[in-house]
Amino acid sequence: MVTMLRVDDRLLHGQVAFSWINQTNPDAILIANDGVINDEITKLAIKMAKPAGVKMAIKSLKDGIDLINNPKTNNMKIFVVVKNTDDALKVVQEIEGIKMLNIGGASNKKEGGKMILKGIYMTAKDIENIRKLIPLVETIDTRVVPSDSCKNIEEFI
């Protein structure tokens, strides 16, 4: 069971590893992104950020989806982190029952993104993906950390 799906362009780092993991209390963390698979430095940084006592897997998007859809993980609480809204849309479309999507660190300034909320920049493609995601999940949470106030993303896109 996916406890939360988070979009964060930095994947796993201090804010996620401690604040969100404490908030969601998962059995495992899944980092699902095609680009990170062959990036040994990023994988090392992610492994260093992993909190003790929580299992973690770093997978391609397809392999991550297959892992969650495997009946062996049905009783596990899994916190999933993807790098962008393209990956989030694919995950939500291919995994049943994802109720909460958190848009966290999304700083697409380099790709022409505009700031919609503090720490959250979106391109036209991101906004298109969010509009597709709105009917597919119960909640789209727009907090960078759990202590931030949550705003309705529909008001900003």
At 26-70, the pLDDT tens digits run 999 999 999 999 999 999 999 988 888 899 999 999 999 999 999
CA neighbours closer than 13 Å in the CB half-sphere of residue 112: 5
102 within some domain: yes
DSSP type of residue 34: T
Q: Which residue has the higher pLDDT, 81 or 121?
A: 81
155 within some domain: no
> Domain range holding 30?
2-150
As a whole number of angstroms, the distance between CA 50 and CA 45 comes to 9
157 within some domain: no
Q: Indicate the number of domains in the chain.
A: 1
- List, in sequence order, the alpha helices (H) in the chain: 14, 21-24, 40-49, 61-69, 85-94, 124-133
30 within some domain: yes
10 within some domain: yes
- Of 4, 11, 12, 13, the catalytic one is 13
* Count of residues in the chain: 157
As a whole number of angstroms, the distance between CA 65 and CA 30 comes to 10
Residue 120 sits in a domain of what CATH number? 3.40.35.10
Cβ 140 vs Cβ 127: under 8 Å: no
Phi, psi of 109, deg, nearest 5: -60, -40
Q: Which amino acid is at 143?
A: R
126 within some domain: yes
Q: Enter the pTM of the model.
A: 0.91
156 within some domain: no
Active site residue 13: yes
